[in-house]
Structure 1
C-alpha cells in the first residue's frame, strides 16, 4: 500500500507539474524546503529529550558523515542523475527517503503488521505518503519514483525481522534514536533545498545505521 501510494502520488504530481509555470515550480520547491525544516525540528524536539543515549546522535552524525564522504555517496548519486538532466533531483530523493522511511508510522507499522496483523499504522502512513509524494512529484519530477522500491526494502525488511527474528528489536528506544538522527538529516535537507547551506545530505545517510548497529551490539552482549 505504501509503495502504491508513492508510485501513484508521484505520478500524479509529475503530471500536474507539466501544467505549472517556472514561478509555481519554485514556490513548491521553497515549500518543500520549509516543510523539511519544520519536520526536522519537530523530530529533534520530540525525540531527543527522550533519548537514553544523549551522545549517540552526535556519534551517529560524525561517523555517518565520515563514512558517507569516504564512499562519496552524494557525488556518485548526482553523477548518475545528471545523465538524466535532473541536477536537483538528488536533494529531493534524499529528503523524500527520509520523510518516507523515518518516523514511528514507517518503522512501527511493519512491526505491528508482522506480530499482530494490524495494518492500521501502515494504511495511515500510506495516506500521508500519497499526499506527500504528489507534492514531491510536482516539485522534483519523475526521479522521485526511486523512493518507492527503497521504501519497499525498508519496510519489508522490518516486517521480516519482526515476523521471523525479533519483534522486540524495534523497541521504542531504537525508534527514538532513529527519529532523532533522522530529524537532523531532514533538517539538513531543508537547509540545502532552500540554499541556506549546501549540505550533502546523501553523505550523511550512513548515520542512520549507527543506532541500529549500536542496538545490535547491545543484544549480542546480553
Structure 2
C-alpha cells in the first residue's frame, strides 16, 4: 500500500504553486493599470479557448456503436446542463465564493476568480490522468507539470481577479486528492486512462466547458459553466 503522501504528493505540490502564484499575482495587481489588467484577462481568455478546443477535439475519437462522439458530447452537455440548472449549481458555487469572500474579507471580483480558477484547474485530462497515476504508482510527474502550468496561470488570473483565485486550492484538494485516494478502485474500471473511450469523452465534454469559460473571460457570452458540470459525470 502506498503511503498517503506518496499517493497525493502531486496534489499538494499543485496547491503550493497555486498559492505562490496567487501571492505573486497580488503583488503585481497593485502595480498594473486597469488597461493592462484587461489585456491580461483577454490573453487568458484566448489561451483558455485554445485549451478548450484542443480538449474538445477528443470527441472525434469517441465511438459508441453507431453513435458518434460529438453526438454523445451534445447529449451530455444538454442533459448535464438541465441537471445543473435544476440543482442551481451556478448559484451554489457563487454562494460558496461569496461566503469565502465575506469570511476572508475579499475584494473585487473574488467570487468570479474563485469560480474561474476552480473550473480551469480541475476540468481537464491532466487532473484526471495525473491523479490516477499518482494514486496508483506514486508517480506525480503529470501533476507536477500541471502544477507549474496552474502556478503561472494563477499569477495572471490573480492580477485580474484578486485573491479568490487562491481559494481554488480547496477545489484542487477535494478533486485531485479524492481521485488519487480512489485510484485503486477507478483503475479497475479504467485500465488504460490515456486511451479509454470514457476518458476521451470526459475530456471532450470538459473541453466544451472550458470553451464556455474562455468565452466568459473574453466577455463574448455569459455561459453558466458551473451548471454544465454534471455533464462530466454523465459522460462517464
Task: Specify the alignment match of 2:5 in structure 1.
Answer: none
Q: Taking structure 2 as the reference length, what is the TM-score of the superposition?
A: 0.80
The match for 1:124 is 145
Please state how far the C-alpha of 1:109 moved relative to its aligned partner: 1.3
Equivalent position of 2:187 in the other structure: 167
**Which residue of the partner structure matches residue 6 of structure 2?**
none
1:196 partner SS: coil
Residue of 44, 50, 59 corresponding to 1:48? 59
What TM-score does the superposition give when structure 1 sets the normalisation length? 0.85
Cα offset, 1:62, TM superposition = 1.0
Q: Are residue 9 (structure 1) and residue 30 (structure 2) matched?
A: no
1:65 matched to 2:81? The reply is yes
5+ long unaligned stretches in structure 1: 213-222
Is 1:179 aligned with 2:191?
no
Answer with 4-13 or 93-102: which moved more: 93-102
- CA separation of 1:138 and 1:169: change in aligned 2, threshold 3 A: farther
**Which runs of 5 or more structure 2 residues have no equivalent in the other structure?**
1-12
Corresponding pairs, count: 210
The 1:88–1:121 alpha-carbon spacing in structure 2 relative to 1, beyond 3 Å, is same
- Contact kept in structure 2, 1:6 and 1:148, CA below 8 Å: yes
> Equivalent residue for 1:135?
156
Q: Check whether the contact 2:14–2:150 (CA below 8 A) recurs between aligned residues.
A: yes
The CA RMSD over aligned residues, in Å, is: 2.1
Aligned to 1:203: 227
**Equivalent-residue separation in structure 1 for 2:35 and 2:95 (angstroms):** 27
Match of 1:29? 41
Which residue of 115, 118, 130 maps to 1:109? 130
Range moving further from structure 2, 65-74 or 78-87? 78-87
Q: Output the CA distance in 2 between the equivalents of 1:82 and 1:103.
A: 25
Shift in alpha-carbon separation, 1:189–1:41, aligned structure 2, 3 A = same
